[in-house]
Structure 1
């Protein structure tokens, strides 16, 4: 009741509390996780993470954890990544203002918004219709331009045989190297994915160079399987 009273009768104080929570997220979670790129930190301060969190989970908006993407009773099985993971992903890709981005797995649209602030254009695909609608509403409210949203399997983006991107983001886990997407990187292009199986997966960036593909493991983590890709196997006890 007190929180409701403050939000209704003292909106400036509520806004101040939100901005303090955002500041704490950056200073206490993200910076200690070796995120020191000033542009990335600035984007994380600018994009309102709370606007992409489901209403039932607003209290988790700035928490150091994943946020389940359960929309109006629909359990998608997907999550918003923890803030520090989003930050390391963004820093590891080093997206430039002239670059074109493909994202598979729009989710809440938060990662889409972060990438849109870095790039010339982003095309994002979401296979879950309820999530796609949720993300579209969130991104429209944010007033972002230079992005195109699609509802469907991200492999559809590969159908034009000449389609190429500077950056590709696979926002969920895949079991094996995503060769079909790696083949669509421009020279110097990067692809991010979570790769492997439980209990440990790698957050990995691939880069297309003159010598071929290079890969860099950024950190170990866990992530839900990316829908539309071969399933991650499960342990049986």
Structure 2
């Protein structure tokens, strides 16, 4: 997967490639679709949800550039595989999942891999989620029309947030960095399409 899909997909960061090599993707999907675990596609994981494709995961991680001392928040635990990759690269992961069933499965899978630097939480984080302190990085594994302002203020100065924004078929991966107390810089990285965040309804558009 890494040699044939991820690296040719412009993922060249050695730490990201090592993490994706170290974590067995088939350990995070149901046994009946395990033969497809390394396919370049978004696989079903239950509750009507899917996991990101390997290339999407690699490119997201490369863009985040997580460091071993940092704390990262993940919105959408899903299967737990991307959570495991985050845990390989960061010092601590806080991951929030809407479906308790998926969070419990992810917890079991992370335990099987001996991953201990992850805090799993359950709830609706579509618009906000309380944290005790500001955080180094936030990654959203489902798409928004626009990023909730709450999460921009959860970042430390120098922190960054990665999100997919827009509506299918025109979605863009955005990397937003907090450069000062009241300033953020946004960089559009590449286009992709992923499912929308549950309960993150688009704002009403008024026509005159």
Render the CA deviation track for 1:158-196: whole Å, top value 9, x for unaligned.
335x53110011110111122110111001101111110
Match of 1:141 among 112, 128, 136: 112
**SS of equivalent to 2:172:** strand
Structure 1 runs (4+) deviating above 6 angstroms are none
Aligned counterpart, 1:61: 37
Deviation at 1:155, TM superposition (A): 5.9
TM-score normalised according to structure 1 size = 0.80
User: Which protein has the bigger helix share?
Assistant: 1
Aligned counterpart, 1:111: 82
CA distance in 1, matches of 2:203, 2:130: 25
Is this contact kept in 1: 2:71–2:92, CA < 8 A?
A: yes
User: What do you get for the CA RMSD once the two structures are aligned?
Assistant: 1.9
Unaligned stretches of 5+ in structure 2? none
Deviation at 1:140, TM superposition (A): 1.1
**SS of equivalent to 1:194:** strand
**SS of equivalent to 1:174:** coil
**Is 2:52 the counterpart of 1:77?**
no
CA distance in 2, matches of 1:231, 1:69: 25
Aligned counterpart, 2:155: 185
Render the CA deviation track for 1:123-182: whole Å, top value 9, x for unaligned.
11101122111111111111101111011122697335x531100111101111221101
**Is 2:97 the counterpart of 1:126?**
yes
**Is 2:21 the counterpart of 1:34?**
no
Deviates more, 1:205-214 or 1:124-133: 205-214
Is this contact kept in 2: 1:105–1:170, CA < 8 A?
A: yes
Render the CA deviation track for 1:70-117: whole Å, top value 9, x for unaligned.
2xxxxx222111101000000000000111111110000011100011
**SS of equivalent to 1:173:** coil
Aligned counterpart, 2:59: 88
Is this contact kept in 1: 2:80–2:110, CA < 8 A?
A: yes
CA distance in 1, matches of 2:195, 2:42: 11
In the alignment of these two chains, the number of paired residues is: 203
TM-score normalised according to structure 2 size = 0.91
CA distance in 1, matches of 2:203, 2:167: 6
Compare CA radii of gyration and give the structure with the larger one: 1
